[in-house]
Amino acid sequence: MKKWKQLALITTLLLLINYFFSDRLNLHILYNLMVIFFATQTFVLFKMDEWIPKEWFIQSSLLKIIIRLLASMIFALVLITTYEDEFNLVVQFLSIYLIFMVFEIGSALTNLRRN
């Protein structure tokens, strides 16, 4: 349950950054779409944990990282080819990607520790 609260907190904070600091930070018009994409992607990947057997947990953690990377690359490619201001878009996309990736790796590491 802790990871769901953290996911909601990260998503809310990123959306509030756009709401309050959009003009100062020169955020791209697709910033909210990117945040929602990564939040949805993280939600689906967390749901995968419930479907995968416990003995495959380590392999599934690595598989989820690869799935996130491939899906993000496809999403970024679509955004870059259809919208303007590519540099700003890519920088913001990578920063949001890294935020959610650090969150996922951090939650995976806490589950891999021995008691």
Residue 11 reports pLDDT greater than 90: no
- The residue among 81, 84, 86, 76 whose CA lies nearest residue 33 is 76
Q: Write the DSSP symbol of residue 30.
A: T
Q: Read off the pTM.
A: 0.81
Q: How far is CA 18 from the centre of its chain?
A: 16
Residue range 27-65, pLDDT digits in tens: 888 889 999 999 999 889 888 878 888 888 778 878 888
Tokens 């799935």 found at: 67
The reported pLDDT for the residue numbered 37 is 93
CB 97 within 8 A of CB 83: no
Which alpha helices (DSSP H) does 28-85 contain, by range? Answer: 31-51, 57-82
